DNA sequence: CTGAAAGCGCTTACAG
DNA sequence: CTGAAAGCGCTTACAG
């Protein structure tokens, strides 16, 4: 089966290849090509089952109609949900999405950016890792459209869309306090990224306002440790700090490790301990009791991020840097 | 920042662009280019931070060094694990992977194949949906390398790598029988794909051999129904067929629906009911009690599939169609 | 041993 | 209203 090119169409329709190209790119009217010719070309293209060669057109135009999506871990449900919505949104606009996971590894993130640059993606949506600020500066210098999601660098002037982490954490903590909980722990990781800092700050402020704050109630888990190590650390922490009656996890994978720790310790939820975690997860719904979460507005984040990226990708438009905060949602289930 | 091309290197190194191309493609020696020139060209390329334009080279060679991976649902852990291993394997060999989900929708699957064809991927790894046989025939006619995973079409001569579904199901059923269970249910979907048929057949044969087979112990869930509908169907089935003392689920999403059904019905696992499911899942390990599974040999499947695909992609090599069965592993946890 | 040139399949400025 | 031609950045058969 021979590849059909615009040359074949031109031959068959007895017009020049430029005419074919104009018609197939819907520029026929603009170029004052006659209705009859337009119709003819379209029919021939249809008849021969013409499929444009995207590689050739990319080489010529320098555009690939693709965007690179770099997330932390595509096998984490939060990110795979995000990716799916972003992909759908992009497809509506005729863009293809290449996605890859950093595993929060800075070197790998940098490599991925290089490789996507080399694949000539037209724009980037990134959940940056800690040391990625330079690489992102680099993209900006290259005038590549970039939107960050889930987190960002406070000093850097780049569009980003994130949840209102401070508010989410603050309200969840207040909710626990109103429920009569007094000794509320906060389990975070050691990454120090802005979204984790804000989640911690929301908790700290709510605790301080209620006069309940104690530094010893905060546990920081090594980010790069495996799940068993996290479970062990949580067990150790709760054995040392008896009397804790509630806990807020700053991400779903910590919450999941926590549930396993509590099972080992035979702690009963919510009698002994109220539990709330950031980010929803299938296992939180299935768990007995089901676990309350601060659900991220995934759809809103994805749609907005694609929108901001498109704004930057439209040639010549003077785009504005936008920094968007989306509200999360406290989903109360049986665990509080 | 200007894009560096081989022309720039040629200019700077004072050689022709062909020489540059040969050197950078490691064909310098073969073309009898002097050591000195090779070194010079490499140094200049390094100095100018040359990055080859993959689009240009693709247009010229017709190869993209990429493979298309079509799975049923990338947000299902079985497929996302599979995808990760395939991606890693492919990367080792210098290939990039584009992945997409069919959602078991035949039209969408066909579309995805078209779109990957248009993106000029060099080969395909596919978990086919029911009506995809024609599309796959089409790929073969185009001489596109294809490997199927997880399932295949019995009459079609295509390389594939799948788990030994019959054996997995047969042993799991036998295990339940040896444990003293007598009224063992089997929950399958309505898709009728070969892997599901074989899982059912393994169960049926084991039951028949033990003289325990009853057709009424098999439930078929509508594939395209949502989770709540599946849960309702399972509840209905178990309310009608009282006395069932064990159940084997033919895929993880059915097992997960089942766990929710049993929770609603206050069935106690494993006292009232032993449970085993195909495919592992995070929630199966976290569940109280933890759920026994027939674990798929994901790494082996992925590695083998990439290997078979590469065999086909090496130009001119007369590749052989291989049909590979990998053994699954029965992981016994608390649910039996 | 190395270079000039054709060509992959498009898009688009230019000419008429 | 439509066509001839240049050029995107490579690879490779051919010439010398």
Q: Would you state the structure tokens that stand for residue B38, as one six-digit string?
A: 């090779």
The pLDDT score that the predictor gives to residue A98 is 86
| pLDDT confidence bin for A191, thresholds 50/70/90 | confident
CA A165 to CA A183: how far, in whole Å?
22
Q: How far is the CA of B108 from the C1' of D12 (A)?
A: 39
pLDDT at B2 over 80: no
Mutate to test the interface with A, among B75, B137, B264, B281 (most CBs of A within 10 A): B75
Q: How far is the CA of B57 from the C1' of D10 (A)?
A: 5
Q: Would you state the structure tokens that stand for residue B75, as one six-digit string?
A: 């947000």
> Cβ of A121: how many Cβ atoms within 10 Å?
24
Which of B59, B141, B286 has its CB closest to that of A287?
B286
Of B314 and A4, the one with more pLDDT:
A4
pLDDT at B115 over 60: yes
The pLDDT score that the predictor gives to residue A161 is 95
**Interchain pair B283, A282: CB under 8 A:** yes
Fold of B6-52: 434 Repressor (Amino-terminal Domain) (1.10.260)
Distance from CA of B92 to the nearest CA of A (A): 14
Q: Would you state the structure tokens that stand for residue A297, as one six-digit string?
A: 């507005």
**Interchain pair A55, B142: CB under 8 A:** no
* Residue B220 backbone zone (phi > 0: left; psi -120 to 50: alpha; other: beta): beta
**Does nucleic acid strand D have an atom less than 7 angstroms from the CB of B59?**
yes
Rounded average pLDDT over A130-140? 89
A33-85 residue pLDDT tens: 888 889 989 999 999 999 899 899 999 998 899 999 999 887 788 888 898 89
Of B244 and A110, the one with more pLDDT:
B244
Q: Would you state the structure tokens that stand for residue B6, as one six-digit string?
A: 């081989």
List, as one string, the DSSP characters of A44-110.
Answer: HHHHTT----HHHHHHHHS--SEEEEEES-TTSHHHHHHHHHHHHHHHHTT-EEEEEE-TT-HHHHH
The pLDDT score that the predictor gives to residue A333 is 96
Closest CA to A44 of A19, A27, A68: A19
The pLDDT score that the predictor gives to residue A230 is 97
CA A78 to chain centre: 8
* Boundaries of every domain in chain B: 6-52, 65-163+299-326, 165-295
How does DSSP classify residue B132? -
Instruction: Please check whether the two domains, A6-52 and A66-163+299-326, share a CATH topology.
Output: no
Which of A58, A74, A118 has its CB closest to that of B80?
A74
Q: Which residues of A296-324 are buried (b: 16+ CB within 10 A; e: fewer)?
A: bbbeebbbbbbbbbbbbbeeeeeeeeeeb
Which of B1, B52, B118 has its CB closest to that of A54?
B118
Distance from CA of B215 to the nearest CA of A (A): 30
CA-derived radius of gyration, chain B: 26
pLDDT at B332 over 70: yes
CA A304 to CA A313: how far, in whole Å?
14
**Interchain pair A58, B55: CB under 8 A:** yes
Contacts of A58 in chain B (CB under 8 A): 55
pLDDT at A226 over 80: yes
The pLDDT score that the predictor gives to residue B149 is 95
Q: Beta strands B274-278 and B123-126: pairing type?
A: unpaired
**Does nucleic acid strand D have an atom less than 7 angstroms from the CB of B49?**
no
**Interchain pair A54, B120: CB under 8 A:** yes
Contact status, residue B101 vs residue B80, Cβ threshold 8 Å: no
pLDDT at A241 over 70: yes
| pLDDT confidence bin for A318, thresholds 50/70/90 | low
Does domain A165-295 fall under CATH 3.40.50.2300? My reply is yes
A252-305 residue pLDDT tens: 999 999 999 999 999 999 999 999 999 999 999 999 999 999 999 999 999 999
> Cβ of A287: how many Cβ atoms within 10 Å?
23
The pLDDT score that the predictor gives to residue A125 is 96
* Residue A216 backbone zone (phi > 0: left; psi -120 to 50: alpha; other: beta): alpha
Fold of B65-163+299-326: Rossmann fold (3.40.50)
Contact status, residue A79 vs residue A57, Cβ threshold 8 Å: no
Q: Beta strands A218-221 and A246-249: pairing type?
A: unpaired
- We find that the CATH architecture of domain A66-163+299-326 is 3-Layer(aba) Sandwich (3.40)
- The SS3 assignment for A148 reads strand
Of B294 and A4, the one with more pLDDT:
B294
**Does nucleic acid strand D have an atom less than 7 angstroms from the CB of B7?**
yes
**Interchain pair B256, A282: CB under 8 A:** yes
pLDDT at A5 over 70: yes
Q: Which residues of A147-160 are buried (b: 16+ CB within 10 A; e: fewer)?
A: bbbbbbbeeeebbb
- Using omega within 30 degrees of 0 as the cis cutoff, is the peptide bond preceding A60 cis? no
CA B54 to CA B58: how far, in whole Å?
6
**Interchain pair B54, A119: CB under 8 A:** yes
**Does nucleic acid strand C have an atom less than 7 angstroms from the CB of B85?**
no
Contacts of B117 in chain A (CB under 8 A): 51
Q: Would you state the structure tokens that stand for residue B156, as one six-digit string?
A: 């079609």
- The SS3 assignment for A274 reads strand
Q: How many CA atoms lie within 13 A of A126 on its CB side?
A: 29
Contact status, residue A107 vs residue A93, Cβ threshold 8 Å: no
Closest CA to B136 of B118, B156, B111: B156
Q: List the single range of A56-65, A177-186, B315-324 with lowest mean pLDDT.
A: B315-324
Q: How many CB pairs under 8 A join A and B?
A: 75
**Interchain pair A288, B55: CB under 8 A:** no
Please provide the average confidence, as pLDDT, over all residues in chain B: 91
CB within 7 A of strand C (chain A, 25-44): 25, 27
CA-angle at B261, arms to B258 and B267, nearest 5°:
100
B219, with CB counted inside 10 A (0-12, 13-18, 19+), is buried
- What distances in angstroms separate CA A130 from CA A72, A162, A302, one per listed residue? 11, 16, 21
């Amino acid at each position: 089966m021979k590849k059909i090119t615009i040359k074949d169409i031109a031959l068959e329709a007895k017009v020049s290849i430029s005419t074919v190209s104009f018609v197939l790119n819907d520029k026929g009217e603009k170029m004052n090509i006659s209705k009859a010719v337009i119709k003819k070309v379209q029919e021939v293209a249809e008849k021969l089952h013409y499929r444009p060669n995207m590689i050739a057109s990319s080489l010529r135009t320098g555009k690939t109609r693709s965007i690179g999506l770099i997330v932390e871990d595509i096998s984490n449900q939060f990110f795979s949900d995000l990716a799916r919505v972003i992909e759908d949104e992009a497809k509506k606009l005729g863009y293809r999405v290449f996605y890859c996971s950093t595993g929060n590894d800075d070197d790998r993130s940098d490599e991925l950016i290089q490789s996507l640059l080399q694949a000539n993606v037209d724009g980037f949506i990134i959940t940056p890792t800690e040391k990625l600020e330079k690489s992102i500066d680099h993209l900006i210098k290259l005038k590549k459209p970039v939107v960050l999601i889930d987190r960002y660098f406070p000093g850097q002037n780049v569009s980003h869309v994130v949840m209102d982490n401070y508010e989410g954490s603050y309200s969840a903590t207040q909710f626990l306090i109103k429920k009569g909980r007094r000794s509320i722990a906060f389990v975070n990781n050691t990454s120090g990224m802005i979204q984790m800092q804000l989640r911690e700050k929301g908790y700290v402020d709510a605790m301080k306002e209620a006069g309940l704050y104690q530094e010893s109630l905060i546990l920081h888990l090594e980010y790069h440790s495996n799940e068993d190590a996290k479970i062990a650390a949580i067990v150790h922490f709760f054995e040392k700090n008896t009397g804790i009656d509630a806990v807020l996890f700053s991400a779903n994978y910590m919450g999941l490790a926590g549930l396993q720790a509590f099972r080992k310790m035979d702690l009963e939820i919510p009698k002994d301990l109220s539990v709330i975690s950031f980010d929803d997860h299938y296992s939180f719904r299935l768990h007995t009791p089901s676990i309350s979460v601060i659900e991220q507005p995934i759809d809103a984040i994805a749609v907005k991020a694609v929108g901001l990226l498109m704004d930057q990708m439209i040639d010549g438009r003077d785009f504005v840097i936008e920094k968007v905060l989306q509200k999360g949602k406290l989903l109360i289930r049986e665990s509080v």
